[in-house]
Amino acid sequence: MRISALEGRRVAIWGLGREGRAALTLLRSRLHELFLDLVVDVEQQVAFTRQVVADDIDAPVLLRKAHLGFLDSALLLYLRQRLTQAEAQGERAVVSAEDMAAQLSVFERSANPDQARFSRQAASAVEKAKKLNLVRPLAGGEQRFEVSPTLKLLFPAEEIQALTRSYRALADGSAVLPAAATPDDDPDDSAPEADA
């Protein structure tokens, strides 16, 4: 497996024949000893590790979990949707900070007395997406980002569909949040998680 520089980052070049497959097999084996799975998508040229979950073994947890709150999850849904649309059109998934803020504004309470607070929460959700590498800034455009193709692997279609149905029900008012949890409270207890 060779390493090449791409936009100032070191990235692995996949699919280099027998040597590349042997290196991936060895890497998978070593990671499995640490209770980690190596997830590789050769087509997208992305790879990441995932914690092995085994009920019968007390495996050490080596990866951090990042809890996603209400707005974080809503942003994740938008990014995943944008990635799917871009892939269908054969292009890169690019979003702007304004696009992300506009998508999150759907979840702002009507007649919100504290619009500045909501704006800070929306900006925080964007920052969290950057920190978790769900989006990365594009060169030459400080407010434009490329959606990471790993989203497709991290969050299966079934999870995305279930979360989308729940959030649509919240957006159109047909679902009611428990009294202790509102979109402005940004609850983390029942929100999805991402390996960091």
- pLDDT tens digits for range 19-39: 667 777 888 888 888 888 887
Lowest mean per-residue pLDDT among 57-61, 120-124, 150-154, 162-166: 57-61
Q: Which residue has the higher pLDDT, 47 or 90?
A: 90
Instruction: Return the pLDDT at 86.
Output: 92
Instruction: Say if residue 26 is in the same domain as residue 93.
Output: no
Contact 81, 155 (CB under 8 A): no
Residue 126 is predicted with a pLDDT of 92
What is the Cα–Cα distance from 196 to 185, expressed in whole angstroms?
A: 23
Q: Does the residue 57 lie in any domain?
A: no
Angle separating helix axes 97-104 and 70-88, nearest 10 degrees: 120
Specify the pLDDT at position 59: 77
Distances, alpha carbon 195 to alpha carbons 95, 156, 174, in Å? 22, 14, 31
Residues 32 and 123 in one domain: no
pLDDT (0 to 100) of residue 20: 66
Is the pLDDT at 147 greater than 50? The verdict is yes
For residues 147 and 73, membership in a common domain is answered with yes
- Residues 146 and 119 both lie in one domain: yes
Quote the CA–CA distance of 127 and 131 in Å, as a whole number.
6
Residues 109 and 183 in one domain: yes
Reported pTM: 0.66
- Assess if residue 42 is contained within a domain: yes
Query: Sign (positive/negative) of CA torsion 110, 168, 69, 103?
Result: negative
Question: In terms of residue numbers, what domain contains 187?
Answer: 65-195
Instruction: Give domain status of residue 184, yes or no.
Output: yes
Give percent of the chain with pLDDT exceeding 70: 74
Query: Do 40 and 73 sit in the same domain of this protein?
Result: no
Question: What CATH number is associated with residue 101?
Answer: 1.10.10.2260
Residue 56 domain-assigned (yes or no): no
Total structural domains within the chain = 2
Same domain, 12 and 100: no
Question: Does residue 83 sit in the same domain as residue 177?
Answer: yes
Q: Please, is 165 exposed, middle or buried when counting C-beta atoms within 10 Å of its C-beta (0-12, 13-18, 19+)?
A: exposed
Which string of DSSP letters, residue by residue, matches 18-67?
A: HHHHHHHHHHHHHHHHTTEEEEEETTTTEEEEEE---TTS-----S-EEE
Q: What average pLDDT score do residues 7-17 get?
A: 49
- Three-state DSSP class for residue 170: helix
Q: How many CB atoms lie within 10 A of CB 118?
A: 19
Residue 43 has pLDDT above 50, yes or no: yes
pLDDT tens track for 77-113? 899 989 989 988 999 899 998 899 999 988 887 777 8
